[in-house]
Structure 1
């Protein structure tokens, strides 16, 4: 496809035909309008087929055999690593496979804990006059040091850093937010000379607001702090180039990028991966072992202990090639158009409060909202009767919901497959929510036999 052109109606129809789940009929008798890709994306048939094809034709243990299946499995596994590296502008030896993005964040956080306990890049505890080395020392925290996150973080990029602070005596601080949920640049002063690490989201999974990456990275660099970026809500919806972003680490989630569950990835600058202490240990990470000590392989193998999600990596590679064939710029433009339409239409409904920016500037198609007088679970159920799938709950972001003065919300998220007609169906269903609970001036709808609201 031509990435410089907009997504045509014919192209969108063809893309939608690649996703079997979009044909599934809901409780109301119509194909489901899937507005929950922020939780997990649906998968094109080529991705589904790739995973089963691997098990059928290439299944073998990677990096461990000389037989044909083992060699073929290894080739496919490493090809997927190269595909992800190309997709994000990285070097292939900077990609570490993990079981999900949460594990990737924990890997970096745990490396800080290990270094702070005196464990060096070689896995050995520093003793006497031995130092951790210049780069390894960047991972060492102690009382008086500072870890900085933001109030907009998913729990996966907050709780691990709380644990690191507890273990090391470092102080946990955060960048605050403007009233509409954007990161407040006035709070950048929190990143001070004592700051060792700044961990932040690329785009909020509640507000959709895109973080001011340039400003945050610049502030961190001035004080020599390591930056860690959570791309889970951005990497399937906009171009992501880790070199251009300027961060030191970034994490990725396959199942939000049209790929399988059970696999994620950590990208890190190679020199920092080399300096990081090992975290998960055992098989596959070692160069040599005696009964008293271990020598570790270089990255990325150093961090990939045990059996790997090989079939999932292969299928994720297929998903990334699928996205690349369409073009990330083209996907971003289509989703921006759908987001603008959704925000415009939702603003017309009485009693709906969007949590986050109500304009379409520097934001993605993640739209969390509160329906006055109606619990989010009830909102989700009524919409389900209308064959519309949205996310309900606190979205693993309780502090951010507290900031907006609510315990939970409903959330609609735009994907590359979203159409204007689907947004119309969502808005029609959303208008019925307050009516059903007697909170609008129109007649209360009734449930008919198949569960549909009318």
Structure 2
């Protein structure tokens, strides 16, 4: 197949030193970016430079290094606000990861719940957008309900409407913008409109979307959006929670400690305005510096171009994988409203066994339930293999994936190849 765009993937790859890694005799084909992305040299350099030349704590330190660190940290907040289309930087909260952001949402919004109230999620949620809501409902007596999925791996909107899933009892709807297993991109804007029509708050887990596609929070329809830095070519140890400022100002603190306070007395305290109200203790300073540089890098490549490249890679991968006998693709089999994350099973082969054998051929994929066990149970399986592409993925790496999958299938099932293409459904 010819390339769908003039996207220069080799120029992108040159920015990522780790992609030159070899695994034995094989070049690394890194297809685990839904787990964590690799980092370009400019991000690595930005973090190293901060620690080498500007390291200090923020806010309290008024000396030269303290001022530099504070300016870098708050400058990073402003950069991320621009990256996601936030109206003001005070709407951007820096946390340790997206899981902390979703827990913050569940804890603070959970303080409003009572028996008879309902929280709506989906069966495709990552555990980070499921367990916190389970805990909130257990604490308050509220009821947890969820969207089911269709056979194609998309939200079953017709069933939800038929059953009145979002109704006058709904107080929170929390949905992934893109599934970390199925690759499905969900219609969160339409769902948000339904949530708002009954007075509910719309929370979105955008961890698998913000790195892959343009996301503008001003038009998304959500009230709160969580995502993580390490999946968008940024450092580990930082996640972002965005929220409408008026909503954030109305929410109670999540964690107590330094920086989130206004005045502390022995018998009571008052709290800072957002975002600092939700940033107790020393924040991820160097990580924010690195994340700002990651935003610069992604915007330099172009988020629309990255999304188009990922669709092209997804289309190519789906064509190659669906041509193999014994494979079951989980989720949409067309590169429409989906990311480059593709999960699948191999008949008669445990995903962990296949993953290990594929790794020996330089192909890095993930095997397991991918922190989405209820989804796998809904699909009638315990685990799956997941190959996830990103802005640096090549068609050659997808060819290596298909070959490695075919090799693993034949190795573990005892099939014998008789020639090029043997074992494929079109052979």
TM-score, normalised to structure 1, is 0.89
1:333 matched to 2:329? The reply is no
- Per-residue CA distance 1:227-284 (angstroms, 9 max, x = gap): 0000011111100001111100000100000001011010010000000011101111
Q: Specify which of 95, 99, 118 is matched with residue 98 of structure 1.
A: 95
Distance (Å, rounded) in 2 between the aligned partners of 1:218 and 1:286 = 35
Distance change in 2, residues 1:7/1:60 (3 Å): farther
Match of 1:209 in 2: 184
Alignment of 1:76-87 (within 5 A): 76-87=72-83
Is contact 2:4-2:312 (8 Å) kept? no
Q: Quote the offset at 1:337 in angstroms.
A: 0.5
Distance (Å, rounded) in 1 between the aligned partners of 2:155 and 2:210 = 19
Q: What RMSD in Å do the two structures reach over aligned CA positions?
A: 1.4
Q: Secondary structure at the match of 2:342?
A: strand
Q: Specify which of 128, 139, 144 is matched with residue 172 of structure 1.
A: 144
1:185 matched to 2:157? The reply is yes
Distance (Å, rounded) in 2 between the aligned partners of 1:81 and 1:380 = 38
Q: Secondary structure at the match of 1:437?
A: helix
Match of 1:385 in 2: 360
Alignment of 1:19-418 (within 5 A): 19-27=16-24, 29-90=25-86, 91-113=88-110, 115=111, 140-186=112-158, 187-188=160-161, 189-418=164-393
Q: Quote the offset at 1:442 in angstroms.
A: 2.5
Name segments (4+ residues, structure 1) moved above 6 Å: none
Is contact 1:220-1:226 (8 Å) kept? yes
Distance (Å, rounded) in 2 between the aligned partners of 1:15 and 1:355 = 29
Q: Secondary structure at the match of 2:257?
A: coil
Distance (Å, rounded) in 2 between the aligned partners of 1:297 and 1:249 = 19
Distance change in 2, residues 1:416/1:83 (3 Å): same
Distance change in 2, residues 1:69/1:391 (3 Å): same
Distance (Å, rounded) in 2 between the aligned partners of 1:322 and 1:217 = 30
Is contact 2:189-2:222 (8 Å) kept? no
Q: Secondary structure at the match of 1:200?
A: strand
Match of 2:423 in 1: none
Match of 1:128 in 2: none
Distance (Å, rounded) in 2 between the aligned partners of 1:261 and 1:214 = 29
Match of 2:425 in 1: none
Distance change in 2, residues 1:7/1:361 (3 Å): closer
Distance (Å, rounded) in 1 between the aligned partners of 2:412 and 2:354 = 10
Q: Secondary structure at the match of 1:368?
A: strand
- Per-residue CA distance 1:157-176 (angstroms, 9 max, x = gap): 00000000000000000011
Distance (Å, rounded) in 2 between the aligned partners of 1:334 and 1:279 = 39
Q: Secondary structure at the match of 2:23?
A: coil
Q: Specify which of 398, 407, 411 is matched with residue 423 of structure 1.
A: 398
Distance (Å, rounded) in 1 between the aligned partners of 2:6 and 2:312 = 12
Give the total of aligned pairs: 413
Q: Secondary structure at the match of 1:190?
A: coil
For structure 1, the 5+ residue unaligned runs are 116-139, 445-454
Is contact 1:373-1:439 (8 Å) kept? no
1:13 matched to 2:10? The reply is yes
